[in-house]
Amino acid sequence: MMKKSMPQEIYEEALKERAKPDPLKKRQACEKGWLAVTEAVDQYLAQQHSIHIPKGRAETHVKRTTALVDLGGIDPKAQELADNVSKIADQLHGACFYGGEDSPHYDTVLKKTVRKILELTGCWNGQEE
């Protein structure tokens, strides 16, 4: 069996937490989904384009998104990633985790959009737990 990437492990943990009835766990699951995305995209940018995004700085999200948009003209995956990363930043990271909102819609974003990003970035090994 192929080893799972760190973003995939984080994603699978987020899915488990999102399924729990505890509202705090559901919010934390959204943030883990966001973390899986940032890790996957940062790995993609480093491996495919030698762009290294600094960790833990206020401008990190802006730098990540700007890099993806700038690469969009030469790398179709980058533009698709840019569109989806912004959606996840707004919904999972912003509205769900920080805003405390809860909706079944976030389950769909986590299951489909985060997984799509993992697949696009090469962080999905094709196997589920």
In the predicted model, what is the mean pLDDT of residues 100-126?
92
pLDDT of 11 strictly over 90: yes
Token output for 123: 């962080």
Residues written for the chain:
129
Round to whole Å and give the CA distance between 7 and 125. 11
Convert the pLDDT of each residue in 29-72 to its tens digit: 999 999 999 999 999 999 999 999 988 877 888 899 999 999 99
pTM: 0.92
pLDDT-based confidence at residue 3 (cuts at 50, 70, 90): confident
| % of the chain residues with pLDDT over 70 | 97
In the predicted model, what is the mean pLDDT of residues 86-101?
90
Residue 59's pLDDT is 84
Q: Which of 28, 31, 29, 37 is nearest to 8 (CA)?
A: 37
Q: List, in order of start, the domains of the chain with CATH numbers.
A: 6-51+58-121 (1.20.120)
Residue 1's pLDDT is 58
Round to whole Å and give the CA distance between 129 and 121. 19
